[in-house]
Amino acid sequence: MQPDQLTHHQQGCTPPAQSMDPACADATPPLQRAERGTQNPLDRIERDLREHIFGQERAIESIVRALNRARLGFAAGNNRRPQAVLLFLGPTGVGKTETARTLARLLHADDRGAFLKIDCSIFSQGHEVSALVGAPPSYIGRDQKPLLNPEIIEQPDSVILFDEIEKGKPELWNLLLQIMEDGEILLLNGGRRVSFRNSIVILTTNVGAQEMVDFLDQRVIGFRTPRTDVEATGRQIYQIGVEALQRVFTPEWINRIDEIVAFRPLSSDILAQVLERMLYESNQQYLRQGIHVELTPAARRYFLEKGFDARFGARPLRQCLLKELDAPLADLIASGGIPRGSKVTVAATGTTAYGQAIEFYYRLAPELKQVAEELRIADEARSSSGRDLAPPSVRLHHSAGRNPTPNSERPREQDREVTAFGQRSLCYPPRRSNS
């Protein structure tokens, strides 16, 4: 509708027959079309997510859309609910868990105590849910600390990840339903209420994975599949996932989710970007041994073709690099075949015989040995001081939004990843740029 077609009431004036001021139309500010600005601090989060997670532009847009709403405190009239409840849906190996980790690192680059990962596979029995909220009086384990740690959850912009929720039982899903709707739970071992109103709750699931694999086998997505075909496949994957969700979870449970984020399968050109990122990260590790690795074009093609499987995402590529690049390189360094302080070139021989597909060549570079020594000294100094350099984080809190839980007196903890073996600390390196 054009501005000149709006009614007098919509323009802020009374109708002509009832107007007491004939100059009302002239005094009313003109109606202007709203356009997106450039001052949103979440633009940096979106940009950084795209630098770390490849081929998931639609998923990242959905995540940032939910965070924008949460930043201003828009919660459909219920401010007790979590800031956002996101469900990451898609085949394995496409970046669902890594996206949650990266988001937590970007929101809390200078504070390692606001990320909690809970592996739902440890709740394969209904009574095991008591590990989350604590055991009630007179039960064994009452003195143990619940996995849902309020010191982490109640921090501003904390990220709580429930990984592979389909492996849990209905008792776990009922607990999640309470979190999604009421935004709080009661710890049974102490009677304390834990609020999730400052948290971002992320759920990941591989539900419908077998149907997705069968569909991908029918489509026969190969190494040369065009990206447009992969996008169409992604839409079908989303539909398969939603239908599978409806078979596993109840409608009232699904309707509590703010955003169902679909992760697409990876195409060959996206996997090439993933390879570059993996090689960059590997070189950060090699550099501590005074080694820098480069791949010839033929070697890149070899790793991409051998590590490509549309059913399993980027994981086969990672396994291929571990087996055929990291392992032989480590042996060459340990045996003295490649001296520390060398630039290594990896070439493909063109044969597929075991142990003969890849060859290593090196050129001495003494400056790399000096860099490795400097990194060692810096690591020792950082470890002794307990500090780690990190870029500034972006907070979602807005003055007009939700009030953060006071935590000035609360001791900070390391990020915790809850697994079947208990809790172990996670140490994230500073975010690396692609430059």
Tokens of 290: 């005074």
Strands 291-295 and 358-364 come out as unpaired
DSSP designation for 94: S
Question: What is the full per-residue pLDDT of the chain (435 aa) written as tens digits?
Answer: 555 555 544 555 455 545 455 555 557 889 989 888 888 888 899 999 998 899 888 889 989 988 888 888 786 667 788 999 999 988 888 889 999 999 999 888 665 668 999 999 888 777 778 888 877 666 666 667 888 888 889 888 899 999 999 888 888 999 999 999 888 888 877 778 899 988 999 999 988 877 877 787 676 545 444 555 666 776 787 888 889 999 999 999 999 999 899 888 888 888 999 999 999 999 999 999 999 999 999 999 999 999 888 778 889 999 999 999 999 999 999 999 999 999 999 999 988 887 889 999 999 999 999 999 999 898 888 877 765 555 556 666 554 445 444 444 444 444 444 433 333 333 334 444 444
Domains located in the chain, CATH noted: 42-265 (3.40.50.300), 269-372 (1.10.8.60)
Strands 342-348 and 358-364 come out as antiparallel
Can you tell me the distance from the alpha carbon of 139 to that of 161, in angstroms, rounded to the nearest whole number?
A: 27
DSSP H helices, 164-226, are 170-182, 209-219
Angle between helices 57-71 and 96-107 (to 10 degrees): 40
- pTM of this structure: 0.75
Rg, the chain, Cα only: 26
DSSP string, 338-398: S-SSEEEEEEE-S--STTTSEEEEEEE-HHHHHHHHHHHHHHHHHHHHT----PPP-----
Can you tell me the distance from the alpha carbon of 40 to that of 34, in angstroms, rounded to the nearest whole number?
A: 15
Strands 415-419 and 358-364 come out as unpaired
Can you tell me the distance from the alpha carbon of 217 to that of 417, in angstroms, rounded to the nearest whole number?
A: 34
Contacts of 113 (CB under 8 A, 6+ apart): 151, 152, 155, 412, 413, 414, 415
Write down the pLDDT at residue 148: 87
